[in-house]
Amino acid sequence: MKINTVTTTPFSDQKPGTSGLRKRVKIFQVANYLENFVQSIFDSLEGFQGKTLVVGGDGRYGNKAAIQTIIKMAAANGFGRVLVGQNGLLSTPAASCIIRKYEAFGGIILSASHNPGGPDGDFGIKYNAGNGGPAPEKMTEAMYSHSKEINRYLIAELPDIDLNTIATTTLEQIKVEVVDPVTDYAELMSELFDFNAIRALFKSGFRICFDGMHAITGPYAKTIIEDRLGAPKGSVINGVPLEDFGQGHPDPNLTYAHELVEIVYGDNAPDFGAASDGDGDRNMVLGKGFFITPSDSLAILTANATLIPGYKDGLAGVARSMPTSAAVDRVAAKLGINCYETPTGWKFFGNLMDAGKVTLCGEESFGTGSDHVREKDGLWAVLFWLNILAVRKESVEEVCRQHWQEYGRNFYSRHDYEGVESAGANELITQLRNRFDSLPGTQFGQQKIAFADDFSYTDPIDGSISKAQGIRIGFADGSRIVFRLSGTGTEGATLRVYLERFENDVSKHVQEAQAALADMIVVADKLAGIKQHTGREKPTVIT
Ligand code: G1P
Ligand code: ZN
């Protein structure tokens, strides 16, 4: 094999964020930008000679070209085998599943998750380790260090691989296998869930609308929900992955999944609505005219887990990210299992799962998952819900209301101020930090501040410390406001404000979350000067 050593100079901006390196497509198109980062990944790994690398992506613009480059670089760097999804497709959870199943050394996933795609959209790349999970911080730091020093990359002179055809090609020392992206994942789902019960549910006339948002989950949902579980054809909408996601923003929330929201809140609504994001790791779950917050969803899955074959023996423990509501904490307390609070981002759950400490985990940002893979998993959450409904024979709304009745309700909302000036956003955070000592005891309207801090996490498994993970303001009545800056945005800064208030009295549950949190919304602005620092009158997205 002819290997070329190409001389290069580093870029200064290849620091991976919450989930990999994410930039505008235009930036990735700059000569050597992708190659430099891929080489930085390989240079920070050891012991992969002759081993297997999994490669695939969410199908966005640039996906296939990047895959051809990565295969040639993997060959030049000494990998022995590459497993790649047909047409270059692999959802993030399916990539995790395949890495684990075939005991690959690791995998490279091309995705910018829910960020828009197309030539004017975003592109991204992340490395997942042999456990199937996102590279831990130590590893991403090493990649970043290499990216700042890089002066050459290695690439083999090989023909392009035909990604459209399932086949194995041996190119001198490297074997490239193009695999079906759905089969292994579908098999894993059928081991966890009672497919017969769900099939019977659909047979009884239960209707679902699953919105693939023109992104990766279309083929997965069609195979599993329509073909294998028997939901009528057409139950999956927007099910063909497009390079620009149909010009949409494939983020499953009430703002961006509006087509689905109109269907489930409209006349003749189906019994169940669900959507997933660009790379298939997020989920939104809806009943007939009824929205389940991701925080409540995690709590409800936890409370009902033993109804599911894959979890019938109970859960080792659960985990949630810090800004996620404490609804699941109440369930964990009742079940007598541990509930861990981690910083935002999926990589923190991996250590807990590898150590057998937690089975289910989730984030408020429409991410839920379990130890079946090491990523959050959109379709898995949908199947979990369907299995619960098939067993309990109740509606989504009934299941949720009964849950609040039993555990109380954590009213919850996240307000995002997207693409604001970085200087103002940083200033807002700095000013809050400077007031930690003076805030406790201060009265804001009805609310009295009990504590103010910056969340710091010590990993219970490896002892690593992650500081400055978000400002927490706790109030005397147990309510909470969290302020943090996004680590995944590509333009300016995004301020996230997380609001939470617990209500034990079920008779008050008729209130909408925004109404129930109205006081807290005013307090958040008074406390942090949101309007003043962002120049925005209101959030861009409310979930
Ligand atoms: C966002 C979410 C976070 C999630 C991440 C990747 O990160 O808030 O929970 O893990 O996307 O999907 P952020 O932009 O807030 O850093
Ligand atoms: Zn995603």
The string of pLDDT tens digits covering residues 296-335 is 999 999 999 999 999 999 999 999 999 999 999 999 999 9
Average pLDDT over residues 126-134: 96
The three-state (H, E, C) secondary structure of 420-483, written as one string: ECHHHHHHHHHHHHCCCCCCCCCEECCEEEEEEEECCEECCCCCCEECCCCEEEEECCCCEEEE
- How far apart CA 466 and CA 345 sit, in angstroms, is 12
346 lines ligand 1 (CB under 6 A): yes
How confident is the model over 329-360, as pLDDT tens digits?
A: 999 999 999 999 999 988 899 999 999 999 99
How confident is the model over 437-493, as pLDDT tens digits?
A: 999 999 988 889 999 999 999 999 999 999 999 999 999 988 999 999 998 877 899
Question: Which residue(s) pair with 360 in the sheet?
Answer: 318, 370
230 shares a domain with 163 = no
Tokens of 15: 């620091």
Alpha helices in 170-289 (DSSP H): 183-192, 195-203, 217-221, 258-264
Question: How wide is the angle at C-alpha 324 spanned by C-alphas 322 and 330, nearest 5°?
Answer: 100
Residue 508 has pLDDT above 70, yes or no: no
441 shares a domain with 371 = no
Residue whose CB lies within 8 A of the most ligand 1 atoms, among 251, 365, 486, for a mutation test: 365
**Distance of CA 171 to CAs 1, 139, 443, Å?**
8, 30, 70
Instruction: Determine which residue's CA is closest to atom 4 belonging to ligand 1.
Output: 345
Query: Helix 378-392 to helix 396-407 angle, to the nearest 10 degrees?
Result: 90
339 shares a domain with 254 = yes
Atom of ligand 1 nearest to the CA of 488: 14
- How far apart CA 361 and CA 459 sit, in angstroms, is 15
Tokens of 263: 């269907």
168 shares a domain with 198 = no
**Catalytic, out of 113, 276, 321, 370:** 113
Element (H, E) at 318: strand 317-321
DSSP string of 360-409, one letter each residue: EEEETTTEEEETTSSS--HHHHHHHHHHHHHHH---HHHHHHHHHHHH-E
Average pLDDT over residues 113-139: 94
Domains identified in the chain, total number: 3
Confidence of residue 380 (pLDDT cuts 50, 70, 90): very high
- How far apart CA 41 and CA 66 sit, in angstroms, is 14
Q: For residue 420, give the amino acid letter.
A: V
CA contacts within 13 A on the Cβ side of 539: 18
275 shares a domain with 192 = yes
- How far apart CA 473 and CA 452 sit, in angstroms, is 5
Average pLDDT over residues 397-425: 95
Q: For residue 18, give the amino acid letter.
A: T
100 lines ligand 1 (CB under 6 A): no
CA contacts within 13 A on the Cβ side of 21: 24
157 shares a domain with 119 = yes
> What pLDDT score was predicted for residue 510?
62
- How far apart CA 343 and CA 348 sit, in angstroms, is 7
Residue whose CB lies within 8 A of the most ligand 1 atoms, among 466, 486, 497, for a mutation test: 486
pTM of the model: 0.95
293 shares a domain with 402 = yes
337 shares a domain with 457 = no
> What pLDDT score was predicted for residue 304?
98
> What pLDDT score was predicted for residue 491?
80
Average pLDDT over residues 379-398: 98
Q: b/e map of 371-388 (b: 16 or more CB within 10 Å)? A: bbbbbbbbbbbbbbbbbb
Q: Are 221 and 239 in contact (CB under 8 A)?
A: yes
Atom of ligand 1 nearest to the CA of 19: 6
241 shares a domain with 259 = yes
Confidence of residue 134 (pLDDT cuts 50, 70, 90): very high
Confidence of residue 538 (pLDDT cuts 50, 70, 90): very high
> What pLDDT score was predicted for residue 289?
95
469 lines ligand 1 (CB under 6 A): no
CATH number, domain containing residue 430: 3.30.310.50
Question: Which residue(s) pair with 542 in the sheet?
Answer: 415
CATH number, domain containing residue 37: 3.40.120.10
Q: What is the mean pLDDT of the chain?
A: 95
Average pLDDT over residues 2-10: 97
- How far apart CA 452 and CA 435 sit, in angstroms, is 8
How many residues does the structure list for the chain? 543
- How far apart CA 59 and CA 64 sit, in angstroms, is 8
Residue 168 has pLDDT above 80, yes or no: yes
Q: Which ligand is nearest to the CA of 365?
A: 1
Average pLDDT over residues 278-307: 97
- How far apart CA 473 and CA 151 sit, in angstroms, is 46
Beta carbons within 8 Å of 341's beta carbon, 6+ residues apart: 319, 320, 321, 322, 457
Atom of ligand 1 nearest to the CA of 281: 12
115 lines ligand 1 (CB under 6 A): no
Query: Helix 327-335 to helix 294-304 angle, to the nearest 10 degrees?
Result: 10
Q: Is residue 113 annotated as part of the catalytic site, yes or no?
A: yes
Tokens of 99: 């890495």
Instruction: Determine which residue's CA is closest to atom 8 belonging to ligand 1.
Output: 365
> What pLDDT score was predicted for residue 172?
86
DSSP symbol at 38: H
403 lines ligand 1 (CB under 6 A): no
Where does a domain end: 146, 181, 216? 181
Where does a domain end: 377, 407, 437? 407
Residue 389 has pLDDT above 70, yes or no: yes
Q: Are 218 and 250 in contact (CB under 8 A)?
A: no
> What pLDDT score was predicted for residue 509?
58
425 shares a domain with 399 = no
3-state secondary structure of 535: coil
Confidence of residue 17 (pLDDT cuts 50, 70, 90): confident
209 shares a domain with 149 = no
Rg (C-alpha) for the chain, rounded Å, is 23
CA contacts within 13 A on the Cβ side of 155: 19
Where does a domain end: 407, 440, 475? 407
193 shares a domain with 123 = no
Domain extent for 93: 3-181
